[in-house]
Amino acid sequence: MIHPEYNKKAFLLPESINSMAAYHAKIDKDGICKFTIHDCNGSVRLWNDLNTKEGIDESIEKFKKIAIAALDLADFIVKNYVIN
């Protein structure tokens, strides 16, 4: 089965002189899905095979949970560190 390809990448803070952080989201035509976050100190890659229903379901769940966790952390920082 040929899968639609997806390939997006960007710097998280393109104007920052203090940080190099970027992401790369990719689905190859073989159905392998990779989401990598890089910064100055290392990287983390989430990987899934979209050729099975289980792989698709796990991929969706991983990305939803990581998005919620990132938003929760941002909200915590706003509430506890931003001085009004």
- In tens, the pLDDT along 11-30 reads 999 999 999 999 999 999 99
Q: What is the domain range of residue 56?
A: 6-81
In a domain, 1, yes or no: no
Q: Report the candidate in 58, 48, 44, 10 with the shortest Cα–Cα distance to residue 28.
A: 48
Its pTM stands at 0.87
In a domain, 37, yes or no: yes
Give every CB contact of residue 48 below 8 A, 6+ residues apart in sequence: 32, 33, 55, 56, 58, 59, 62
Q: How many domains does the chain have?
A: 1
In a domain, 57, yes or no: yes
pLDDT at 4: 95
In a domain, 45, yes or no: yes
In a domain, 73, yes or no: yes
pLDDT at 83: 87
Count other Cβ atoms within 10 Å, centred on residue 13.
12
State both tokens at 42. 């290392």
pLDDT at 2: 82
Which segments in the chain show pLDDT lower than 70? none
In a domain, 35, yes or no: yes
